[in-house]
Structure 1
């Protein structure tokens, strides 16, 4: 019996393997190089978005919808057309590069570790400064528990936005999908405020980001639950997430806190005003060690998602190679 050449097997399975291999490559680039410090595409996009906002913001929803479309759709459509006209190897490379620039895994982990190290060493002043870089609340008066809580909340929530929702939309649509999500998520961060300037104009940015984040947030919450105290995490998700303002942050942080066995939420000061947020999770308030555990949970979840994508690709590729299905 003659054996099939490995090249023929790989060629037959390539349509199924292209996406998971691109995901591995994009994550690998992010792990190796992190976020580029100069000339990041999102910096240029932010400048363009600010121009559109100054031009179109009449504090009405209609101009906000128009601005969102002008900001996001040309780049997503360009990526779609580019993938269609380029040869397969170059189209695959476009996917890898788009994912690399959209991911924030290494940046999130580095920022979180920069909080965890001084907090564990008892250097509260430095930890306060570092956590202030990644959260919007006032951190100047936080005690050790407050810093740990803010860090854990940010790691869990941004794990979804910066990593898992990005991977989800990459798996769905390659470069066009990941560009669509990342730009929409960036506009929500820029325009999605409930204040006089953005309440109407930023309505579309906030709602579209919620919609795009909805499926990924629930997969992230389920992943957090499966990789920790599963039963408790699922119970916290079911009971506590509906009480949180954000339809996506609630499930993610409730499941993550339940998985870790800590309690988040409570009082926090935003722009000089104290807000009492509903509790998330179950157990004691987090410590510096729990912040390290949250980082480890996000790492395990990332590895689990990559393994799942690769296994799905291999299974799909086997079906393509054996002729059970066709590309």
Structure 2
């Protein structure tokens, strides 16, 4: 949707804004959207089926991307305005700096032996119970969060900005947020949240595999590809499986094991290879995320070069 020669500047500006500013401390737009979505769900989810869920999703998600599409079309003859709009929306959709800060907030107390503080901090980024976690479980939860959210909060946003500019990246982030709110297989959400979960899977399918590939290229490539091939199918998430298996293999770390969700023990399949994840693996996951981001930007730059030099692809 954007001119090819503006793709790299758009991504760089969005990434730099995320790096410099981080997520808003107050008045975060996704928090506001979450409140709206919660209000709609509380009034429309009266034991209805999938159709009500589909209609509620459309009501919550469509207005902002449609407005952004209208703006983009209004600026059809002004590509730099389109690019600035896309970069601003990309910044709003990214959570790379926040993700790294939350991971470091777990790693630092782990390195100094303060397990209680590490448990508290990991509880801010995962939905599993953390009060009785040991050091290994805290490390595994943090590494899994970095790898999986690296896809949702960074690379998938970059992908949809490349594909469709401002409307596409905001549409993806809104659907991803609704999946996090409604995509549970509980009595309340199993049917109502079906559309949000399926649409998030669809929008995330290709970005997740590109993320898994970038993790593999940025780490132990052979082990990452083997773990992706052999282990991903056993994971519950069709997109999270490739991302976490490839990422764990790239780190030569093992993830999975017993996890407590809402008082119930769940046995997650093995992901990765080698030693169990520890505090050092958290540091490694952050470095893997950063190296993968460099790979994405270099790939976009190489794709853009013939256009920048006045040639053709």
**Which TM bucket (shorter chain)?**
over 0.9
Aligned to 1:211: 202
What does 1:73-222 correspond to in 2, within 5 Å?
A: 73-86=62-75, 87-222=78-213
Aligned to 2:26: 38
For residue 101 of structure 1, give the secondary structure of its aligned residue in structure 2.
Answer: helix
Looking at structure 2, the residues matched to 266 and 72 of structure 1 have their Cα atoms a distance apart, in angstroms, of: 36
RMSD of aligned residue pairs (Cα, Å)? 1.3
CA-to-aligned-CA distance 1:88-114 (integer Å, 9 cap, x gap): 333222111100110000000000011
Looking at structure 1, the residues matched to 72 and 285 of structure 2 have their Cα atoms a distance apart, in angstroms, of: 37
Out of 8, 26, 38, the residue aligned to residue 50 of structure 1 is 38
Looking at structure 2, the residues matched to 15 and 158 of structure 1 have their Cα atoms a distance apart, in angstroms, of: 29
Q: Which runs of 4+ in 1 moved over 6 A?
A: none
TM-score (structure 1 length as normaliser): 0.92
What does 1:230-269 correspond to in 2, within 5 Å?
A: 230-269=221-260
Matched, 1:288 2:276: no
Aligned to 1:26: 14
For residue 137 of structure 1, give the secondary structure of its aligned residue in structure 2.
Answer: coil
Paired residues of 2:156 and 2:204 also in contact (CA < 8 A): yes
Looking at structure 2, the residues matched to 177 and 132 of structure 1 have their Cα atoms a distance apart, in angstroms, of: 31
TM-score (structure 2 length as normaliser): 0.96
Paired residues of 1:16 and 1:314 also in contact (CA < 8 A): no
Matched residues, number? 309
Offset of 1:57 from its aligned partner?
A: 1.1
Offset of 1:15 from its aligned partner?
A: 2.6
CA-to-aligned-CA distance 1:75-132 (integer Å, 9 cap, x gap): 1111111011134333222111100110000000000011111111111111110011
Looking at structure 1, the residues matched to 17 and 208 of structure 2 have their Cα atoms a distance apart, in angstroms, of: 24
Out of 287, 294, 307, the residue aligned to residue 316 of structure 1 is 307
Matched, 1:65 2:54: yes
Aligned to 1:10: none
Offset of 1:317 from its aligned partner?
A: 3.3
For residue 312 of structure 1, give the secondary structure of its aligned residue in structure 2.
Answer: helix
Paired residues of 2:115 and 2:135 also in contact (CA < 8 A): yes
**For structure 1, which runs of at least 5 residues remain unmatched after alignment?**
1-13
